[in-house]
Chain A
């Protein structure tokens, strides 16, 4: 919602997708190339180099992270930096890896703030880790349905879910730790996740730990394990857990009859 008259300066937020170069959309690439200022937060130095080649007026936001601080401090700094360039009247493109609106707090917040200040702001979609997971694990979310939660959120808020549908848990490698840790994160909270999941699935239920490959020359990491092995598995901050349905669903005959009846009326 625009609260002030439109003024010079604009904000477009785009995503690179997961796989270096290959996943970016044509519209996102054009936006990066044409921007007067590009700010980026990407997964590694190869992506940084590539973006800087697309537009020399590019600047990393990596320095917003400070070891030991809650990560949302870094996101506040990112939003401030993004808006500072928009307020200068520049057409700004901000680039995040994956889909820029999926698990990217500063993207949504900077768009909200820019619009509040009267600047045009929009987001272009990108390919997320979940999109890669669907493709590589051969899962169609329309079959049985699909529930997706951030892993800590799933535990802390005791999310209700249906174990006859697919379950996807993001960021299983950083459960319970809201800080930025340059040395990596502990996997020990996976034991707690297992304790919760085993109440809903048999311990030998096969689950998949997935990490999409960011490079064309190598494969994604796909570990298929029985649920009971969860406490022992080594995962990264980028790992996602896929839990297939425990059992098949059966249609409710009364509901089917109701639907048939109303369609025929």
Chain B
């Protein structure tokens, strides 16, 4: 995985926790992203604003590449 992958999670947390920073990002995403040490492909996927692109750079849990499910179907069906 590329250097800076951990920072993608940090970046997402920061955008959610800091409304002023998020507003700045909405105005000029490249300026805000320049303060993070991301490779170009990650920057471009973030700026795309597409969930499927951004997900590629977020570490999954060790258990798998898909989000967890917490609904257990009744085994009797």
Which of A's residues lie within 8 Å of B, judged by CB? Answer: 19-22, 41-46, 48-50, 53, 60, 62-63, 65, 67, 70-72, 75, 96, 103-107, 150, 152-153, 156-157, 170-171, 174, 178, 180-185, 211, 213-221, 236-238
In the complex, are the beta carbons of A219 and B51 less than 8 A apart?
yes
Interface size of B in residues (CB-CB distance below 8 Å)? 35
Docked complex Cα distance between A46 and B7 (Å): 9
Given known A-B contacts A72-B72, A72-B75, A153-B73, A20 and B67 have beta carbons under 8 A apart: no
- Interface on B for A, CB 8 Å cutoff? 8-10, 12-13, 15-17, 22, 25, 46, 49-52, 54-55, 58-73, 75, 77
Closest Cβ of chain A to B66, distance in Å, is 5
Residues of A within 8 Å of B77, CB to CB, are 152-153, 156-157
Q: Which of B49, B73, B75, B77 is the most central at the interface, judged by chain A CB atoms within 10 Å of its CB?
A: B73
B66 and A217 contact, CB distance less than 8 A: no
Known: A21-B13, A178-B75. A183 touches B64 (CB 8 A): yes
Contact, CB under 8 Å: B67 / A218: no
Within the complex, the shortest CB–CB distance from B43 to chain A, in Å, comes to 12
Nearest first, the 10 closest Cβ-Cβ pairs linking A and B are: A182-B64, A21-B16, A72-B72, A46-B9, A103-B71, A45-B59, A62-B61, A65-B63, A105-B72, A43-B67
